[in-house]
């Protein structure tokens, strides 16, 4: 699987946390997605927690400054998510992260190798 480089849209929306959050368009294996950008520690920590739906985006792109192992959990996450682990613009793994409502308990998933991007796409 592959992804193309980022295509900024110059669109910013207010997130659930009342902060402006940029959106980018990203081609993931031939399908275009609009993604909120998480590129700083607070955004990484919050992610898509507390969202019940996304109306102007399909998910979130986490951009980390260096490659490392990353794990994500479903604490306060109310949407099912498809996770893409990305290193050097190549998808190196995928995972499914069900909502906390579906599992009734906290579940986590981890990258199979060091990555600098993680993409969460809301499963429809």
What are the boundaries of each domain within the chain? 7-122
- Note the pLDDT of residue 13: 42
| CATH (residue range 7-122) | 2.60.120
Q: Write out the H or E segment, with its range, that includes residue 74.
A: none
- Note the pLDDT of residue 83: 97
The phi, psi pair for 77, rounded to 5°, reads -110, 115
- Note the pLDDT of residue 32: 87
Report the predicted TM-score, pTM, of the whole model to 2 decimal places.
Answer: 0.83
Q: Write out the H or E segment, with its range, that includes residue 71.
A: strand 71-73
**Count of CB atoms situated within 10 Å of the CB of 59:** 23
- Note the pLDDT of residue 17: 46
The series of mean pLDDT values per 10 residues for the chain, 124 residues long, is 49 47 83 90 88 90 95 95 93 96 97 96 93
- Note the pLDDT of residue 114: 98
């Amino acid at each position: 699987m592959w992804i193309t480089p980022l295509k900024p849209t110059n669109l910013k929306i207010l997130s659930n946390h009342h902060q402006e959050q940029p959106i980018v368009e990203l081609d993931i294996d031939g399908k275009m997605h609009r993604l909120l950008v998480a590129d700083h520690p607070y955004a990484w920590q919050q992610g898509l927690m507390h969202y019940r739906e996304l109306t102007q985006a399909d998910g979130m792109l986490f951009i980390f400054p260096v490659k490392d192992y990353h794990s994500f959990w479903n604490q306060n996450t109310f949407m099912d998510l498809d996770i893409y682990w990305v290193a050097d613009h190549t998808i190196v793994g995928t995972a499914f992260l069900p909502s906390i409502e579906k599992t009734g308990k906290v579940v986590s998933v981890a990258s199979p190798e060091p990555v600098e991007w993680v993409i969460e796409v809301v499963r429809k």
